[in-house]
Amino acid sequence: MPRNFTYSDAGVNREQRHESKKHLKTLEETYSYSSYGSVMCLPYGNIFPVGQNAYLDLVIEGVGTKVLVAQLAGKYDTIGVDAVAMAVNDVIRSGAKPLAIADNIHAQASDPQLVKAWLEGVAEGAAESECPVTGGEIGDVAEVIKGIAEGAGFDMIVAAVGRVSKQNIITGKNIKPGDSIIGLRSSGLHSNGISFARKILFSQWGGKYKPYAVPDVLDREIALEVLEPTEIYVKPLLKTAQAVKVKAAVHVTGDAYLKFNNLERFSPGIGFELDNFRPQPIFGLIQKTAAELGYTVTDEELFRTFNMGWGFAIIVDKTDTDKAMDALEKADAQPEQIGKVVGKQKIVIHHGDKKLVLA
């Protein structure tokens, strides 16, 4: 009988991570050092005041094991887009406009051709975010970083800082049953769940395919499909926040749709019902390939791990749905209403003919 394959089998233990995150409380003791007033806690991070009416949102993010796929494919010019996207898409959750980016790349060796490709991606992501790269570092740390390609090992981190006026902060408060959930289309896997995908899809890590195989459901090599850069949602979100009151903004990354749980702390008594999904073929391929390898990947595990076609979501009052959709479309996003807020504290997914309860 096939055994379930979960994120833990891919090396990411959700329960352990949850326990570890409890120790973040240790850092709350530092909040008293905030120079201009109290740190404000939000559903997906904290912001701090820098004056009478302004707050900064500082985020640092990375692309995780997607760098290993870049090494496997020998393609390095898009991974910088992912790094920028992960940071700026987090910054805008508070309503902040990104002001500056800094990158940090730890490498086996700072080979000039690799550095050129890495920074081309960072520059492309910064241009899409309309945000300058004002600093960074590349460190040669061969004893720390080991790659699957000789001399090409690296890890990529990007920090971004954004500014938001007090009256424009997206707080996650006052969400109520009936509010609309609008999704913004992803470009595929983005930069989350890659450890899971690698170990099912690529023979390098025990999966099925060589990197340049083209499975029937794809129209290009599987490595290039996985390396498709993460969408950047800066312009659509900021333009929409000018048009309507955005109650919450969710970057659908690690833990995927479980991330909606964070909002219940700020608007108690709510739940979420999501019923509009058109996942790209790569997600079904992961589930199908796992079965061919003797594993079962449940639908619930897919929605706990992957974005399943929606990389970002906003919550607005039902009466603002059309106005929000119009603003997003004018910003060249691909929005669709994907669900609604409900009065039961659950995350319910309707997909195909199945009803899945995530939490």
Could you give the CA distance from residue 336 to residue 323 in angstroms, rounded to a whole number?
12
Could you give the CA distance from residue 290 to residue 67 in angstroms, rounded to a whole number?
22
Mean pLDDT over the full length of the chain: 95
Rg (CA), the chain: 20
Provide the percentage of residues in the chain whose pLDDT is more than 90.
87
Please give the distance of CA 11 from its chain centroid, rounded to a whole number. 19
Q: What is the amino acid identity at position 135?
A: G
Beta strand residue intervals within 18-96, DSSP E: 40-42, 45-49, 54-62
pLDDT mean over 34-61 = 95
Query: What are the Cα distances from residue 42, in Å, to 266, 267, 329, 341?
Result: 8, 11, 27, 19
Could you give the CA distance from residue 313 to residue 172 in angstroms, rounded to a whole number?
12
pLDDT mean over 139-157 = 87
pLDDT value of position 129: 97
Give all domains of the chain, ordered by start, each with its CATH number: 34-168 (3.30.1330.10), 180-357 (3.90.650.10)
In a 3-state reduction of DSSP, which class is residue 247?
A: strand
Tell me the pLDDT band of 1, cut-offs 50, 70 and 90: low
Give backbone dihedrals phi and psi of 64, rounded to 5 degrees, phi first. Answer: 55, -140
Q: What is the pLDDT of residues 104-129, one digit of tens each?
A: 999 999 999 999 999 999 999 999 99
Q: What is the pLDDT of residues 312-355, one digit of tens each?
A: 999 999 999 999 999 999 999 999 999 999 998 899 999 989 99
Tell me which DSSP letter residue 300 carries. H
Kindly report the pTM of this predicted structure: 0.95
Looking at 208-298, list the stretches that DSSP marks H as alpha helix, in order from N- to C-terminal side.
222-227, 234-243, 281-292
Tokens 């007033």 map to which residue? 37
Provide the token pair at 15: 């329960």
Tell me the pLDDT band of 218, cut-offs 50, 70 and 90: very high
Helix axes 66-73, 194-201, angle to 10 degrees: 40
Provide the token pair at 10: 């891919």
